[in-house]
Structure formats: C-alpha cells, structure tokens
Amino acid sequence: MTMMQLSEKQTTMAAKGSEGGRRAVSLWLWLVAALVFAMVVVGGATRLTESGLSITEWQPLLGAIPPLNEADWMAAFEKYKLIPQYHALNQGMSLEDFKFIYYWEWSHRLLGRAIGIVFALPFLYFWWTGKLKRGTGMKFLGILALGALQGFIGWYMVSSGLSERIEVSQYRLALHLTAAFMILGLLVWAALEEWPGEARVTGEVATTLIKRLAVIIVAAVLFQVVLGAFVAGLRAGYIYNTWPSMNGQFVPSDYWMKPAYLSFFESHAATQFNHRMMAYLVAILAFVQIWLTSRTPVDDRIRITAQWLGAAIVAQIALGVFTLLTHVRLDLGLLHQGGGAIVFMLAVVHLHAVYRAGVVPRDFYASRGRASA
C-alpha cells in the first residue's frame, strides 16, 4: 500500500470515525432535547396541579433528597403553611395531599438536575476525546450556561409567589417558559447540525422569501408561547370558555385596563384574546409557507417539514380550543403545553431544512474529487 493510499485510508477512517462521533453527539443532543421536552410537560403538570409553591426554599444540591421521615415532612409542611397560597387555597389540607403537590415540584426540580448531568458529562467526554467539530464546544458551553441560568429563573419565579401573591408572577412564568423553549430550540438545531447524514445535494434550495418566512414563523411561534404563558400565569383560561366568540363578543368588552399598556400583561380578557388571534396568524403564516414550498422547486425536506408544521399547528389550535371549552381540563392543558413545544421544535426543524436542505456543501466537489480519485 503506497503512502498516498495510506493517508487516504486514514482520511476516510477519520471521516468515518468523525461520522460515527458526530452521530453519537447528535443522538446525545436529541436525548437532552427529549428530556427538556419532558421537563416542559412536567412543569405544566406542576403548574396545573398548583404544586409550584410547595417547596418554599431552593437548595440546588441537597434539595435532591426529599423529606425522609415524618419529622422532615412536617418541617417542610410547616414552611408551606407560612405562605399565602396555603391559607387561600389549601387551608387544612392533609399531609398526604401536601406530599402530592410536594412530589410534583420536587420531581420537576430533580429532572432539571438530571438534565444538567446528562448534558454536562457527555459534553466533557466528547470535548475531551476530540469528537466535537471546531467551534461547537463553545456553543455547547453556552447551552450549558443557559441551562444553569434556567435553574435560577425557576427559583426567581417561585420566589414571586412566596409572600404577597398566591401564585407565581405571570411575567416570571413567561420568562421561565421562554427560556425553556429557547434551550429546546438550540438543542434541536444543534442535533440537526451534528447529524452526519449523507448530503443529498439536490441544489433545490429555498428562495429568500421562504427563508425569511421560516424565520418569521419560528419567532411568531415563540411569541405565541409567551402569550400562552400569560394566559396560563393569569389563569385566563378559566374565563370566556366559548369559541369562536368570547361569550358572543369578538373583542371582549373588558379587554382594556388602565393604563392601557398593562392590558397585554395583566388583563385576563386581553391575554386570552391576543393568544387566540396570534394562533390564527401563526396558522396563516404556516399555510402561506406550505403554498410557497408547494409551487417552488425546493428540496423535499423543505416541503415536507412545512406540511408537518402546518398539521401540528392545526392540532395545537384544536387542543387550545378544547382546553378553553373544558375550563382547562388537566389532561388537555398538559397536551396543549406539550403541543406548543412540538410546534416550536417542528418550526426549528423546518428552519433548518430551509437553510440546509439541497445546499451544496462547501467541500462537496473537493470531497467528490477525493472519493472519485
């Protein structure tokens, strides 16, 4: 075997090795994304079961150990009895009922710690063994820092409900949910970027209009999620439980409050109306994208991901309507929360297809030259 053949063999092996390594990195990122999705749903269940304020302190490490004996449970229960929510919602509740809400909040926090470990340890391993592409190490460090910040935001949100209020601030809930969705979006994008699939180079790239619309759709869905958090944070899903009108009105008569700008953040009627209207706008944008990608010669992945996204948005709107009509029945509220995360992930998957599918990779011909030599 000549030197030339040896180095080519090594290059192919390295490429294969890196391909194997990249697949492992991508699968790890998909695992973490799946755990963050589960975290969004468990977070929704914690909120919908009014469990979020049951643990009135934050111990990032020791908090992983739940009360282990009667005395510990009574101590945790006594601390909960000191906050306004206990007196307003749960006066006289039994220790067993307290354990039920405690375990929801505890498992939400424990899952948060587990996600931190499932991200950090493989990250260190991949970085140490040189399996990361140039520049991704810093990107993953950024995601890790966002994850840690999310822990703080979670406590910042809980602490807003421990003194004057009987529920957490809708502003801080929106911040917590938005941060969760951004972490999820970054993980999905990174997992797609790492996937070493053979580039099916069709050259059928997206037009500028399709690219711009794909970005607008991701931003619009994220904005809709923020509006949803204000509906959830204000418990605004327990009023105007009619559809398509709001108790016979298109715009609810109590939309505006004084000063007017506060309506968008503190008016139950306004936040629900805005969430409804934004849902319809998101659907229109998605169907325009389906129409554009169906009549433009673009790569199949662009067209198919647009259709998946459109279908998911229709399902999410239906879930939202039934959540409202049922006065936020627990299972529907949870499905709607999870559905919101799936719509956002599909919007990111579509954006990635729009920017990557069909594109001729920079070293395409160089690698082709090498392979055919």
Torsion of CA 272, 277, 278, 283, to 10 degrees: 130
* Residue count (the chain): 373
The reply on whether position 36 binds ligand HEM by CB under 6 A is no
- Residue 333 tokens read as 């509220």
Evaluate whether 315 touches 219 at the Cβ level (below 8 Å): no
Between residues 232 and 354, which has the closer beta carbon with respect to ligand HEM?
232
Min dist CB 167 to ligand HEM, Å, is: 11
- Selected from 76, 157, 231, 345, the binder of ligand HEM by CB under 6 A is 231
Min dist CB 231 to ligand HEM, Å, is: 4
The reply on whether position 232 binds ligand HEM by CB under 6 A is yes
- Residue 76 tokens read as 């945790």
* Sign of the torsion angle spanned by Cα atoms 42, 46, 48, 52: negative
- Selected from 21, 44, 185, 252, the binder of ligand HEM by CB under 6 A is 44
The reply on whether position 343 binds ligand HEM by CB under 6 A is yes
The reply on whether position 275 binds ligand HEM by CB under 6 A is yes
Count, residues near ligand HEM per rule CB under 6 A: 30
- Selected from 158, 175, 225, 348, the binder of ligand HEM by CB under 6 A is 225
- Selected from 55, 279, 309, 347, the binder of ligand HEM by CB under 6 A is 279
Min dist CB 225 to ligand HEM, Å, is: 4
Separation between Cα atoms, residue 179 and residue 184, nearest integer Å = 9
One-letter amino acid for residue 28 of the chain: W
Distances in whole angstroms, Cα of residue 357 to Cα of each of 4, 85, 361: 34, 51, 10
CB burial class (10 A; 0-12, 13-18, 19+) of residue 137?
Answer: middle
The reply on whether position 320 binds ligand HEM by CB under 6 A is yes
Min dist CB 276 to ligand HEM, Å, is: 5
Distances in whole angstroms, Cα of residue 253 to Cα of each of 126, 127, 242: 57, 57, 15
- Selected from 45, 115, 282, 306, the binder of ligand HEM by CB under 6 A is 282
Separation between Cα atoms, residue 229 and residue 182, nearest integer Å = 14
Min dist CB 244 to ligand HEM, Å, is: 8
Q: Judged by CB under 6 A, which stretch of 18-26, 249-257, 273-281, 359-367 contacts ligand HEM? A: 273-281
The reply on whether position 274 binds ligand HEM by CB under 6 A is no
Cis peptide bond prior to 252, omega within 30° of 0: no
The reply on whether position 289 binds ligand HEM by CB under 6 A is no
- Selected from 48, 348, 349, 351, the binder of ligand HEM by CB under 6 A is 48
- Selected from 243, 261, 291, 364, the binder of ligand HEM by CB under 6 A is 243
Distances in whole angstroms, Cα of residue 89 to Cα of each of 76, 81, 356: 17, 11, 51
Alpha helices by DSSP H, listed for the chain, are: 3-48, 70-80, 84-89, 95-128, 136-159, 170-194, 208-233, 263-266, 268-294, 300-325, 330-356, 364-372
Min dist CB 179 to ligand HEM, Å, is: 12
All residues at 6 or more sequence positions from 92 whose CB lies less than 8 Å from its CB, including other chains? none
Between residues 44 and 147, which has the closer beta carbon with respect to ligand HEM?
44
The reply on whether position 169 binds ligand HEM by CB under 6 A is no
CB neighbours of residue 144 within 10 Å:
16
The reply on whether position 270 binds ligand HEM by CB under 6 A is no
- Residue 233 tokens read as 């944070």
The reply on whether position 338 binds ligand HEM by CB under 6 A is no
Q: Which of residues 300-319 bind ligand HEM (CB under 6 A)?
A: 313, 316-317
Q: Which of residues 73-92 bind ligand HEM (CB under 6 A)?
A: none
- Selected from 109, 172, 301, 336, the binder of ligand HEM by CB under 6 A is 336
Residues that bind ligand HEM in the complex, under the rule CB under 6 A? 44, 48, 173, 177, 221, 224-225, 228-229, 231-232, 237, 243, 275-276, 279, 282, 313, 316-317, 320-321, 323-324, 328, 333, 336-337, 340, 343
